[in-house]
Chains A and B, each alone.
Chain A
């Protein structure tokens, strides 16, 4: 298997701390939830290594990246070492000063702010009182300074009934060109609050249909790489392929659902190198101690993850006699791990057969043009 000499990008948990405790946060109660943050000097030394490796972009996440008082120092280090960056944030700690700094670098690709409702009651219900107004204020500050801002909506049991209002709020009232969606996943704190936060089968059915209708209404301005909208599109295509008697999809029938380890790595807040922020239990090395290029090219765990693509779904009892197998990719290995305890297993959460057997319904194919 040919792999790049170094990854193109890295996701960096620059802090384990956060001012919020959202009830579905994937970070807390995960292996990424470590006790300590690295001092800035360690990150700055690591950025020099990333420069030597030709890394193009880093994504700063956490925890809450803006929680770090020395964030300007880290940003300066990223710029000095010839990289671009993006930030994932709850948006509540953004100030004029930091927004001005981000803008001045001209290297910030995007700041992604989480907005989970059209109003405070819906957004704050699982994120904490006051978080909506602060996040909206944070967005306005970033926009005032011409920093590129995107919005991610995480769909849960409370906001699933207000998706139309969320779309109206973001696309019409705030004039965002687009926003992306995901759903609460069985990771981190969600595992402790599943019944309260995670969509039921009927709510998932509702979310899929609502998002397809809204995406049609707003000319495709709603995006998703996971969650109900992505599932709706993917599952409807699978159903169409099955009913048309098509052979198989490229990559279908094998655990090909994730390509992350082909061009990306992550680092936990304690400096441990991991394949992905969601696979933070797989420890590959430590920054400042282990050579990143060596880890990337030769670590056996990474090799194993890359070879996951060769594992046929027919190997799993879970997939036995499934008509959708030739079109299925097994989806996210991290979600498979949190549900089954196995990385090399299809994610039960992404199983179309299981969804239908539990009473789920696919949206009417007339709703969306899937071509």
Chain B
């Protein structure tokens, strides 16, 4: 069976705490650790619902913001990988 990790999903235990207009904290109450994220990070976080792929997120980001760079897909992947390494994000698993 091939396991495909395509649709990231936010850990439901993690709190998105939007502090000011442009910044937020992802707070993991089990560890007590917080991670600061910028507005783009907040935008992405809200799409980590197990329904959207990285490409879906990129398309939504391009629709929402001007001048999204060519490297944005890599940046999104890096961001999600970082979150995943910290236990803040998992993946909807598709078996094949």
Chain A positions near chain B (C-beta within 8 angstroms): 2, 4-6, 8, 51, 54, 56, 79, 82-84, 106-107, 109
Contact B15 A56 (CB under 8 A): yes
The stretch from B17-25, B49-57, B65-73, B77-85 touching chain A is B17-25
B29–A5 CB distance below 8 A: no
> In the complex the two chains form, what is the Cα distance from A12 to B30 in whole Å?
21
Do A84 and B20 have beta carbons less than 8 Å apart?
no
Tell me which residues across on chain A come within 8 A of B15, comparing CB atoms: 51, 54, 56, 82
User: Are B32 and A5 neighbours in the complex by a CB distance under 8 Å?
Assistant: no
Q: Is B32 touching A109 in the complex (CB atoms < 8 A)?
A: yes
| Residues of A with C-beta under 8 A to B17 | 6, 8, 54, 56
B8 to chain A, nearest CB (A): 20
CB distance A107 to B16 under 8 Å?
Answer: no
In addition to A51-B15, A84-B32, 16 A-B residue pairs with Cβ atoms within 8 Å of each other are A2-B20, A4-B19, A5-B18, A8-B17, A8-B19, A54-B15, A54-B25, A56-B27, A56-B34, A82-B13, A82-B14, A82-B15, A82-B29, A83-B29, A107-B30, A109-B32
Q: Chain A CB within 10 Å — which of B14, B16, B19, B25 has the most? A: B19
Give the shortest distance, in Å, between A333 (CB) and chain B (any CB). 24
Q: Check B16 against A5 for contact (C-beta < 8 Å).
A: no
| Chain A residue at minimal CB-CB distance from B23 | A4
With known contacts A56-B15, A82-B15, A107–B29 Cβ distance under 8 A: yes
> Are B30 and A4 in touch, CB under 8 angstroms?
no
* 30 residue pairs from A and B, CB less than 8 Å apart: A2-B20, A4-B19, A4-B20, A5-B18, A5-B19, A5-B20, A6-B17, A8-B17, A8-B19, A51-B15, A54-B15, A54-B16, A54-B18, A54-B25, A54-B27, A56-B15, A56-B25, A56-B27, A56-B29, A56-B34, A79-B29, A82-B13, A82-B15, A83-B29, A84-B29, A84-B32, A106-B30, A107-B29, A107-B30, A109-B32
Give the distance to chain B from A124, nearest Cβ to Cβ, in Å: 35
Closest approach, in angstroms, between the C-beta of A58 and any C-beta of chain B? 11
> Roughly how many angstroms separate A6 CA and B20 CA in the complex, as a whole number?
9
Q: In whole angstroms, what is the CA distance A54 to B16 when docked?
A: 7
A323 to chain B, nearest CB (A): 39
Inter-chain contacts of B20 with A (CB < 8 A) = 2, 4-5
List the B side residues contacting A51 at CB < 8 Å: 15
* Residue in A2, A5, A83 whose Cβ sees the most chain B Cβ within 10 Å: A5
**A82 CA to B20 CA, complexed, in Å:** 20
Residue of B nearest to A78 (CB): B29
- Taken together as a complex, chains A and B put the C-alpha atoms of A4 and B27 apart, in Å, by 15
* Docked complex Cα distance between A84 and B27 (Å): 10
Q: Give the CA-CA distance A83 to B29 in the complex, in Å.
A: 6
Taking CB atoms, residues of chain A closer than 8 Å to B13 are 82
